[in-house]
């Protein structure tokens, strides 16, 4: 069996450090926020090349608070994509605002900047691009349009720790960037976790207040906030993992480039990131005909795969009130039928790679090795 995700191998290697970190938290009694979380915030802000990092209890909370701190509220519209996890849309709705979807680019699978201006109305307040699978959206035109129309830009970087766009880190280009540390992410906690990064001091201050009941000091509430604080345990675990994030990212990129070499573009399409983009391959997805059949064959061969995501958000039953229909976002809908995610992690072995590629060649009739 080749699992789609293998956290056990990662954790086996760093287990003594994780055990020591957990013991430190138990001994300190700092179970919510505290020194470990502050130390992590400092390191993660530096890693993202931003002045501030506010650690919270999930990527969804990070998006929710970044939008609130950016002034998004009832009646506002936020331009985003439907080719993402539902949390992107949910966070907009939590603010009482409305998501307005634009389609993704056929080649990069991220927000198509050419479609943004047509979607802007007098109610538009922000643009929320998603750096899908670890590849950043085309930020220069997005930011240029946003500045021209006085809109905020919040990056959904939940899948893109350490990704780069023309030398700039994910989370550092917009007004704020939002990360998830869900266990399977490139930087994963031992439970839920998330963070907002920003170089805007006032925005960061508001996020920090909002995550902790809006308290300026104990029992002095200046904003109506939330209980979105990060646990001490997650801060300690993430501090340990920060020592490895670059090594693991390089490992993922090496696995991806081996897939790229063995699976030709004609056989299975995937984005070809320009050389000045650093894709961090949270997901290595390919496009295939008869995807469900190919996935079944790979599973029969003992290979775990995923689909990110099979039903775009605008066609999910939960969000039918938004009144989008099949055909509204043709590229997103086509890709949702064709995406297949292959196993990828830093510890992936050459023998496992050979097995995946061989099984794929059997499942995809046009593919020969």
Ligand X SMILES: Cc1ncc(COP(=O)(O)O)c(C=O)c1O
The residue among 230 and 363 lying less far from ligand X, judged by its C-beta, is: 230
129 binds ligand X (CB under 6 A): no
Q: Exposed, middle or buried: residue 80 (CB in 10 Å: 0-12, 13-18, 19+)?
A: buried
The residue among 156 and 364 lying less far from ligand X, judged by its C-beta, is: 156
Q: If binding means CB under 6 A, how many residues of this protein chain bind ligand X? A: 15
CA distance 68 to 56: 14
Side by side, the strands of the sheet bearing 277-278 are 168-169, 164-165, 277-278
The residue among 187 and 346 lying less far from ligand X, judged by its C-beta, is: 187
Among residues 40, 182, 259, 348, which is the contact residue for ligand X, using CB under 6 A?
182
Site string for ligand X, 143-162 (x = CB under 6 A): -------------x-xx---
Site string for ligand X, 52-71 (x = CB under 6 A): ------xxx-----------
88 binds ligand X (CB under 6 A): yes
Q: How far is the CB of 89 from ligand X (least distance, A)?
A: 9
198 binds ligand X (CB under 6 A): no
Q: How far is the CB of 190 from ligand X (least distance, A)?
A: 13
The residue among 52 and 185 lying less far from ligand X, judged by its C-beta, is: 185
180 binds ligand X (CB under 6 A): yes
The residue among 138 and 156 lying less far from ligand X, judged by its C-beta, is: 156
Site stretch for ligand X (CB under 6 A), options 81-89, 118-126, 162-170, 311-319: 81-89
Q: How far is the CB of 365 from ligand X (least distance, A)?
A: 32
234 binds ligand X (CB under 6 A): no
130 binds ligand X (CB under 6 A): yes
The residue among 315 and 367 lying less far from ligand X, judged by its C-beta, is: 315
Q: Exposed, middle or buried: residue 81 (CB in 10 Å: 0-12, 13-18, 19+)?
A: buried
Looking only at residues 333 through 362 of this chain, which bind ligand X when binding is defined by CB under 6 A?
none
The residue among 68 and 158 lying less far from ligand X, judged by its C-beta, is: 158
Residue 277: partners with Cβ closer than 8 Å, 6 or more residues away: 135, 136, 163, 164, 165, 166
The residue among 329 and 364 lying less far from ligand X, judged by its C-beta, is: 329
Q: How far is the CB of 369 from ligand X (least distance, A)?
A: 32
84 binds ligand X (CB under 6 A): yes
Residue in the block written with tokens 């090795």 = 369
Among residues 37, 66, 81, 87, which is the contact residue for ligand X, using CB under 6 A?
87
Among residues 162, 194, 232, 343, which is the contact residue for ligand X, using CB under 6 A?
194
Q: How far is the CB of 58 from ligand X (least distance, A)?
A: 3
Site stretch for ligand X (CB under 6 A), options 33-41, 85-93, 96-104, 343-351: 85-93
The residue among 227 and 366 lying less far from ligand X, judged by its C-beta, is: 227
Q: Three-state SS string across the chain, please?
A: CECCCCHHHHHHHHHHHHHHHHHHHHHHCCCECCHHHHHHHHHHHHHHCCCEEEEECCHHHHHHHHHHHCCCCCCCEEEECCCCCCHHHHHHHHCCCEEEECCECCCCCCECHHHHHHHCCCCEEEEECECHHHCCCCHHHHHHHHHHCCCEEEEECCCCCCCEECCEECCCCCCEEEEECCCCCCCCCCCCCEEEEECCHHHHHHHHHHHECCEEECCEECCCCCECECEHHHHHHHHHHHCCHHHHHHHHHHHHHHHHHHCCCCCCECCCCCCCEECCCCCEEEECCCHHHHHHHHHHCCECCECCCCCCHHHCHHHHHHCCCCCCCHHHHHHHHHEEEECCCCCCCHHHHHHHHHHHHHHCCCCCC
Contacting residues toward ligand X, per CB under 6 A = 58-60, 84-85, 87-88, 130, 156, 158-159, 180, 182, 192, 194
């Amino acid at each position: 069996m080749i699992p789609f995700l293998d956290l056990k191998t990662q954790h086996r290697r760093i287990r003594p450090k994780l055990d020591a970190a957990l013991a430190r938290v138990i001994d300190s009694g700092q179970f919510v926020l505290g020194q470990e979380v502050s130390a992590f915030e400092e390191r993660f802000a530096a890693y993202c090349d931003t002045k501030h990092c506010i650690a919270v209890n999930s990527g969804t909370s990070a998006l929710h608070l970044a939008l609130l701190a950016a002034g998004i509220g009832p009646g506002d519209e936020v331009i985003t994509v439907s080719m993402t996890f539902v949390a992107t849309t949910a966070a907009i709705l939590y603010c009482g605002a409305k998501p307005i979807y634009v389609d993704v680019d056929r080649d990069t699978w991220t927000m198509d900047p050419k479609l943004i201006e047509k979607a802007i109305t007098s109610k538009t307040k922000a643009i929320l691009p998603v750096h899908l699978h670890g590849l950043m959206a085309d930020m220069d035109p997005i930011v240029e349009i946003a500045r021209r129309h006085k809109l905020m830009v919040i990056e959904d970087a939940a899948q893109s720790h350490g990704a780069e766009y023309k030398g700039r880190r994910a989370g550092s280009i917009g007004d704020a960037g939002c990360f998830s540390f869900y266990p399977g992410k490139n930087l994963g906690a031992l439970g839920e976790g998330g963070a907002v990064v920003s170089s805007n001091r006032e925005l960061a201050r508001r996020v920090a207040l909002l995550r902790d009941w809006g308290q300026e000091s104990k029992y002095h509430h200046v904003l109506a906030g939330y209980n979105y604080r990060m646990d001490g345990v997650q801060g300690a675990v993430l501090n340990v993992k920060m020592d490895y994030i670059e090594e693991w990212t390089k490992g993922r990129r090496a696995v991806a480039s081996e897939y790229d070499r063995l699976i030709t573009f004609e056989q299975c399409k995937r984005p070809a990131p320009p050389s000045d983009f650093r894709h961090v391959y949270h997901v290595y997805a390919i496009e295939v005909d008869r995807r469900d059949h190919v996935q079944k064959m790979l599973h029969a061969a003992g290979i775990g795969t995923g689909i990110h995501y099979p039903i775009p958000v605008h066609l999910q039953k939960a969000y039918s009130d938004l009144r989008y229909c099949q055909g509204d976002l043709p590229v997103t809908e086509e890709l949702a039928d064709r995406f297949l995610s292959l196993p990828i992690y830093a510890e992936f072995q050459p023998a496992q790679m050979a097995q995946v590629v061989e099984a794929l060649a059997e499942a995809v009739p046009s593919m020969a090795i």
